[in-house]
Structure 1
Amino acid sequence: MSTLFTRIIRGEIPAHKLLEDDRYLAFLDIRPVRPGHTLVVPKIEHDYIFTLDDATLAGLLPFAKRVAPALERVTGCKRVGVMVAGLEVPHTHVHLIPMNALTELNFALAQDVGDAALAAMAEKIRAALQA
């Protein structure tokens, strides 16, 4: 059975996609810890980041790096925090979380914000990616 993220990659489940190429996809988390919270995934379905093949692992952070400046511009955050927990969905993923303090990297802060808010944020981030 395919993971939730594989189904998003295939277009079977809607998502607020921000950036995509033939190997990776960045999209908004539906329960953001902070506004702009983004997930970056390889398109290959693989459970654990440290058992990814070297080429896929080597490309994951450079792809994420393309998204971070747009998150900074749109949210006005001091930094984009990077977290790999890897337990929520059995598909390698990196969290990019706009933050102003270390205490904001806390999944207890995650909340449903609604599709309209996510759509508006995604539009701003995509525009910043084009700038």
Structure 2
Amino acid sequence: MASIFTKIINREIPGYIVAEDERYIAIHDISPLVMGHVLVIPKQESDYIFDLENDALAGLTLFAKKVAIAVKKAIPCKRVGVAVIGLEVPHVHIHLVPMNSMGDINFTKPKLSPSKEELAEVTEKIKAAL
């Protein structure tokens, strides 16, 4: 069964796409820890990041770096935190989280519930910074 990310990649459901190439996609999380929280995803489905072939893992990391630089330009923050958890969706993804404090990347805190308009606005800011 296709993951929710594959459904976004295939345009079966909408997503707030920040960046995309032939192998990877970055989307704004719809339940972010902070605004600007982006998920970087390989288009090839794999459940566990270390099951990726070396070239796919390296490419994912380099794609995430490009997106993280844009997030930092678009969202006022001290740095962009990186996390790979991989339990909530069985499809590899890297979390990029704008941080001003350690608490900004605490996955146990309540998630935000931004409006579609807020998500679209932040997505466009990040896209413009690419």
1:111, distance to aligned residue in structure 2 (A): 1.6
Which residue type is aligned with residue 61 of structure 1?
T
TM-score when normalising by structure 2: 0.96
Q: Which residue of 2 is the match for residue 91 of structure 1?
A: 91
Q: Is 2:19 the counterpart of 1:19?
A: yes
Which residue type is aligned with residue 40 of structure 1?
V
Looking at structure 2, the residues matched to 58 and 87 of structure 1 have their Cα atoms a distance apart, in angstroms, of: 21
Q: Is 2:57 the counterpart of 1:57?
A: yes
Looking at structure 2, the residues matched to 18 and 103 of structure 1 have their Cα atoms a distance apart, in angstroms, of: 24
**SS of the residue aligned with 1:109?**
coil
Q: Which residue of 2 is the match for residue 5 of structure 1?
A: 5
**SS of the residue aligned with 1:58?**
helix
Q: Which residue of 2 is the match for residue 100 of structure 1?
A: 100
Looking at structure 2, the residues matched to 75 and 57 of structure 1 have their Cα atoms a distance apart, in angstroms, of: 26
Aligned length: 129
1:109, distance to aligned residue in structure 2 (A): 3.4
1:58, distance to aligned residue in structure 2 (A): 1.2
1:70, distance to aligned residue in structure 2 (A): 1.4
CA deviations 1:65-93 (Å, max 9, x no partner) are 10112111111100000000000100000
Looking at structure 1, the residues matched to 94 and 61 of structure 2 have their Cα atoms a distance apart, in angstroms, of: 8
Which residue type is aligned with residue 128 of structure 2?
A
TM-score when normalising by structure 1: 0.95
**Runs of 5+ in structure 1 lacking a partner?**
none
**Runs of 5+ in structure 2 lacking a partner?**
none
CA deviations 1:27-63 (Å, max 9, x no partner) are 1000010110000000001100011111111111100
| Root mean square deviation, CA, Å | 0.8
